[in-house]
Amino acid sequence: MAGTPQTTAAAATVTAVALDIGETLVRDDRYWGGWADWLGVPRHTLAALVGAVVGQGRDSADALRLLRPGIDVGAEYAAREAAGRGEHLDETDLYPDVRPALTALREAGVRVVVAGNQTARAGELLRALDLPVDALATSDEWGVAKPSPHFFARVLELAQAPPHRTVYVGDHPVNDVAPAKACGLRVAHLRRGPWGHLWAGTSEAAPADWHLDSLHDLRALVAG
């Protein structure tokens, strides 16, 4: 059940909401499950390794490198795509609050954009779902990824709003909370997925302006 949004700073008028992708809009189960199947290892093994390396502050792709030392992740990704076993996203990958929550934001006059660390293929798949958003982009399409400040500069271009009127919503303190705050954006930390729950209530997530349990909480946030 969604909780009441908690804030650590005075409310400001919000005119744009930008959202992360993985474990904010979509579950990552299928993505990592596809990699496990391709590499021929149990899905639980890869999921546990992903959790371990991210908990250590490392790149999630390091889990693949632990399983296959020396693996060229980019080349292997291309091989999966060529074999017809590449990325896939459909309606079942979306969290159930995504469509109604984003629709409510747009009806409230808020510009809604999506920007996360994802492949260009993921961007294509997400656009095919016709989400209720004004714009959508991925790090691969931009050629820059979080936590780079250049990524958040592109987010602001997409949002068409100044930083103090833009809220970035994500689950990961290192990729979402800290760098977005450093660029002047407002931030909502979402308690969702492994990272959102792992860092909920910690000093890493504390700088977020809001702490949410659901995307439905965003409607009250912008009204506030």
**Which one-letter DSSP state was computed for residue 165?**
G
Domain 6-26+91-223 in this protein, CATH class? alpha beta
Contact 218, 101 (CB under 8 A): yes
When pLDDT is cut at 50, 70 and 90, the band that residue 12 belongs to is: low
For 169-203, write each residue's pLDDT tens digit.
Answer: 999 999 999 999 999 999 999 999 999 999 999 99
pTM of the full structure: 0.91
Residue that the structure tokens 């005119």 belong to:
15
Residue that the structure tokens 């798949």 belong to:
125
For 55-78, write each residue's pLDDT tens digit.
Answer: 888 989 999 999 999 999 999 999
pLDDT at 11 over 90: no
Domain ranges of the chain: 6-26+91-223, 29-82
Strands 166-170 and 186-190: parallel
* pLDDT for the residue 88: 94
Cα(14)–Cα(143) distance, rounded to whole angstroms? 28
**Which one-letter DSSP state was computed for residue 25?**
T
Contact 18, 152 (CB under 8 A): no
